[in-house]
A and B are shown apart, each in its own frame.
Chain A
Amino acid sequence: MTQVSMTVNGVAASGDVEGRTLLVSFLRDQLELTGTHVGCDTSQCGACVVHVNGEAVKSCTMLALEAEGAEVSTIEGQAAPDGTLNTIQQAFQDHHGLQCGFCTPGMVMSAAALLKENPKPSEAEIRDYLEGNICRCTGYHNIVKAIMAASGQDVSAIAAE
């Protein structure tokens, strides 16, 4: 067991982990931040996406020890302290961008990373960027729409609700 320390959602966090402990396990099991999900074991689904030092990272593909000293932010840290959803979260609710909610934390974290590097992405750019995030429920329509809306684009002309 080795001690690891990092900042998670602005709060100092530390714990003892094995060399093989994944960042996602550290977050879920030791810090009880269960908003980050595990949907696969081949680094494909994106349910586990968090930000490490500002970059979107699949936390199932990073060892907890590799995050030593890092600034980590998870879905639990996205809303304001009074619970008000951030722009992306709110757009997902407004546009029905989630159903079962299992992929949602990863989608929101990926969307945030996308909008940081590309503040007004096109439909095609969003779809491409979400290559590593699988959703089985929504058919992606309302996820793409929500991300466009969150970036301030007018989505009223997009088919359906």
Chain B
Amino acid sequence: MPKDHGIGASPKRREDIRFLSGTGNYTDDINLRGQAYVHFLRSDVAHGKINGINTEAAAGMPGVLRIFTGADFEGVGSIPCGWQITDKHGQPMQEPAHPVLAQGKVRHVGDPIAAVVAESAAQARDAAEAIELDIEELPAVVNMKAALEEGATKVHDDLTSNLCYDWGFVEENKPAVEEAFQKAAHVTTLELVNNRLVANPMEPRVAVGDFNRASGDSTLYTTSQNPHVIRLLMGAFVLGIPEHKLRVVAPDVGGGFGTKIFHYAEEAFCTFAAKALNRPVKWTSSRSEAFISDAHGRDHVTKIELALDSDNNFIALRTDTMANMGAYLSTFAPSVPTWLHGTLMAGNYKTPLIYVNVKAVFTNTVPVDAYRGAGRPEATYQLERVIDKAARELGVDPIALRRQNFITEFPYATPVAVEYDTGDYHATMDKLEEMADFKGFAKRREASAAKGKLRGLGMNCYIEACGIAPSNLVGQLGARAGLYESATVRVNATGGLVVMTGSHSHGQGHETSFPQVIAEMIGIDESMVEIVHGDTARTPMGMGTYGSRSLAVGGSAMFRATEKIIAKAKKIAAHLMEAADADIELKDGAFSVAGTDKSVAWGDVCLAAYVPHNYPLEEIEPGLEETAFYDPSNFTYPSGAYACEVEVDPETGKVTIERFSAADDFGNVVNPMIVEGQVHGGLAQGIGQALLEGAVYDENGQLLNASYMDYAMPRASDVPFYQVDHSCATPCTHNPLGVKGCGEAGAIGSPPAVVNAVIDALQSAGRDVTHIDMPLSPSRVWQAMHG
């Protein structure tokens, strides 16, 4: 019987009621009295020198309140980067300034040049069109290889080159890796592109700045995954507002996928302009604007080499990557191709020697940063593709080759500096073989052939590192922030609880799943627990939601705070029942004295805490409210095995996904319904990357597919019903809930399965195709078949 309550149950989501009835409160739904609107005039060239901005005519247009340019922001800080990488020579990365509005130069299409604030959005837009710009277009650097060439045009004149950093990991391993390659019986090499993606949460970004002249307080309402991080970055580094005078609210947020982690210029602008004009200032991004101003994801060009001995054991791995940073360093950009990518290169395998080189490159394109998976999909894709290629070259079964090299003993310290606590890769592979019905594949292939279609089966494994931690380690690695999470649990006098969490939900359903944990711990109904998130004025300092960290880190903080609550409540109960603290048990919402029939209800203890007439006032304070900050000792390591079956139409090259199966190990699961939904969404994004999506720049730095007319978002008819399973659970050993992360797995694990399946389909028809770069559009597949 599935549970109907507590951990492991799937109660319906309580947040759905407001979303389904149109009463959600997204940032664009917020309208403040006296609000003005800003429209940003953005660069339409990728690289140029600003010779002049004439705002005179525009300033006289109806409704215009003020026009801001870079000159207004000269005394204001640069949009900061939150992670500093040290290169292989021990030098810090090159870090350019990132002004709120362009100063002197524009560096990508979409770079904001001027901002018109007017009485209405339409008036602001109209006036922006009347601004006269004198911009001298400069040659754009778009291609990463060309950007690194001697004498290439520089994106930033004050840097020595377009190289942000050249990172070697682990640098000391390099000679041993090279030696292993010399001795290898077989080396498989693969060059590939991890395509640039646009995150595209369905809610475009919005910011509303507000200023209270009487108190001097600023408030920013914004579409963010982490309001405290925005408050810290914007307050301390850009605008110089102390945190107690700045409140950041991220209400209902319509999806994030990484791109709403970062601190953006528009947020700083609205906060700044609200003070300057003494009026609330609102910005709502259009979708077209989002394409050229939201940070993009991926965009790696990689060469990977796998060395095997004569028994097909993996003996070494070497990988060389160019990672696009775009024109400026977005908040966490430098960490993505390094610590979130290099550390994952061992995958599920006991390869003893690994060397990872990453060159991060500035180009005249939109900044690139974390997008669902962030670094881990790039690692997984290259590794699982090269293993598949090796299996074909060696003529061995790709599953057998993987199984032979699986890590089987835990904890396992990889040669790339992380220690996996738990996992059972054979178990998820066994599960996958059953779910995906590998045995029935030959029949299905025949059936496809009868229709004139080529059927292919592809699979892969993945490992993920979620809940990046601990803070003292990430500090050494260059993070300029801590990576703990916080929770305050407030018990009210009549027994209901409010949890103020630093985690943020933008679709993950925390309002439903977090109460399940507390309900389980205390033995009360979930309806007695309310979750508050997304407001720096109402929640303790927290780091927010990204990297599949909410339950593992934020949930653990809530667990710890609840433990403190229970410990104190037991003391109160002991007093009420005149028993020893140690004899008190809590079960089903009642405290009892072990071995007796004495008991006192949860609600009575809570009431005693706030109406302390009969209360041990000499020993403990009244009230029942506790805060915990939880700093994990390690990442969590979800893993799994995925399989995809495709049909390829040999006439057109069109690929259709016929089946997709995912066997995941997420450790303990609090709400299976939500977990499965997270996997479904990740799979669609991974399938989107593999078959449909990819931001394309021309040589002048124009983004050619900056709308939904041109950028192929996955639609309902592009994907099948998925089969997902998370029954192979090896609980995490170092967090109190035994949970891992599930938010990114689908997006990390699925692209290689899709590509492996297409290669399998083509090879089955005798085509000597070993690789096609994503997205596997009909034209690319057709060309590969006929090339």
A103 contacts partner chain B, Cβ-Cβ < 8 Å: yes
With A134-B708, A138-B677, A140-B716: A39-B682 Cβ-Cβ less than 8 Å = no
B707 / chain A contacts, CB cutoff of 8 Å: 40-42, 44
* Complex interface residues of chain B between 685 and 735 (CB less than 8 A to chain A): 685, 707-709, 713-717, 719, 721-725
Judging by beta carbons under 8 Å apart, are A78 and B21 in contact?
yes
Q: Determine, out of B63-71, B201-209, B476-484, B765-773, the stretch whose residues face the partner at the interface.
A: B201-209
**Interchain CA distance A140-B687 in the complex, whole Å:** 12
Q: Determine, out of A51-59, A63-71, A122-130, the stretch whose residues face the partner at the interface.
A: A122-130
User: B49 → chain A, closest Cβ, in Å?
Assistant: 30
B310 contacts partner chain A, Cβ-Cβ < 8 Å: no
A44 / chain B contacts, CB cutoff of 8 Å: 707-709, 713
Judging by beta carbons under 8 Å apart, are B715 and A131 in contact?
yes
Chain A interface residue bracket vs B: 35 or more
B535 contacts partner chain A, Cβ-Cβ < 8 Å: no
B31 / chain A contacts, CB cutoff of 8 Å: 29
A151 contacts partner chain B, Cβ-Cβ < 8 Å: no
* Complex interface residues of chain A between 54 and 88 (CB less than 8 A to chain B): 74-76, 78-79, 83, 85
With A96-B673, A136-B713: A102-B26 Cβ-Cβ less than 8 Å = yes
A100 contacts partner chain B, Cβ-Cβ < 8 Å: yes
B16 contacts partner chain A, Cβ-Cβ < 8 Å: yes
User: A128 → chain B, closest Cβ, in Å?
Assistant: 6
A18 contacts partner chain B, Cβ-Cβ < 8 Å: yes
B255 contacts partner chain A, Cβ-Cβ < 8 Å: yes
User: A77 → chain B, closest Cβ, in Å?
Assistant: 9
B255 / chain A contacts, CB cutoff of 8 Å: 99-100, 102, 136-137
A145 / chain B contacts, CB cutoff of 8 Å: 721
**Interchain CA distance A100-B28 in the complex, whole Å:** 14
Judging by beta carbons under 8 Å apart, are B287 and A42 in contact?
yes
User: A151 → chain B, closest Cβ, in Å?
Assistant: 15
Chain A proximity mask over B654-682: 1 for CB below 8 Å, otherwise 0: 00000000000000000011101110111
* Complex interface residues of chain B between 250 and 265 (CB less than 8 A to chain A): 252-255, 257
Judging by beta carbons under 8 Å apart, are B509 and A99 in contact?
yes
* Complex interface residues of chain A between 73 and 122 (CB less than 8 A to chain B): 74-76, 78-79, 83, 85, 89, 92-94, 96, 98-105, 108
Judging by beta carbons under 8 Å apart, are B721 and A141 in contact?
yes
Judging by beta carbons under 8 Å apart, are B722 and A159 in contact?
yes
B257 / chain A contacts, CB cutoff of 8 Å: 136
**Interchain CA distance A74-B200 in the complex, whole Å:** 24
**Interchain CA distance A143-B579 in the complex, whole Å:** 54
B212 / chain A contacts, CB cutoff of 8 Å: none
With A139-B680, A161-B673: A20-B15 Cβ-Cβ less than 8 Å = no
**Interchain CA distance A43-B257 in the complex, whole Å:** 23
Chain A proximity mask over B221-256: 1 for CB below 8 Å, otherwise 0: 000000000000000000000000000000011110
SS class of chain A's interface: helix, strand, loop or mixed?
loop
Chain B interface residue bracket vs A: 35 or more
Choose one: A28, A34, A76, A160; the contact of B722 (CB below 8 Å).
A160
Choose one: A42, A104, A108, A159; the contact of B723 (CB below 8 Å).
A159
The chain B residue sitting closest to A88, CB to CB, is B20
**Interchain CA distance A45-B20 in the complex, whole Å:** 17
**Interchain CA distance A49-B98 in the complex, whole Å:** 39
A47 contacts partner chain B, Cβ-Cβ < 8 Å: yes
B10 / chain A contacts, CB cutoff of 8 Å: 161
Judging by beta carbons under 8 Å apart, are B122 and A20 in contact?
yes
Judging by beta carbons under 8 Å apart, are B286 and A41 in contact?
yes
A18 / chain B contacts, CB cutoff of 8 Å: 122
User: B338 → chain A, closest Cβ, in Å?
Assistant: 27
Chain B proximity mask over A19-44: 1 for CB below 8 Å, otherwise 0: 01000000011000111111111101
A6 contacts partner chain B, Cβ-Cβ < 8 Å: no
A158 contacts partner chain B, Cβ-Cβ < 8 Å: yes
A41 / chain B contacts, CB cutoff of 8 Å: 286-288, 707
Chain A proximity mask over B9-36: 1 for CB below 8 Å, otherwise 0: 0101101111111111010110100000
6 further A-B pairs in the complex, CB-CB below 8 A; given A42-B707, A101-B507, A136-B202:
A33-B22, A85-B21, A101-B18, A101-B24, A101-B252, A139-B719
Between-chain CB contacts (< 8 Å), 21 pairs:
A34-B22, A35-B24, A42-B708, A76-B23, A78-B20, A79-B21, A98-B20, A99-B507, A99-B681, A100-B252, A100-B255, A101-B24, A127-B715, A130-B716, A134-B202, A136-B255, A139-B680, A139-B719, A139-B722, A141-B677, A161-B672
Query: Could you list which residues of chain A lie within 8 angstroms of chain B, going by C-beta atoms?
Result: 18, 20, 28-29, 33-42, 44-45, 47, 74-76, 78-79, 83, 85, 89, 92-94, 96, 98-105, 108, 123-124, 126-128, 130-131, 133-145, 158-161
The 3 A-B pairs with the shortest beta carbon distances in the complex, nearest first, are A35-B22, A101-B19, A102-B254
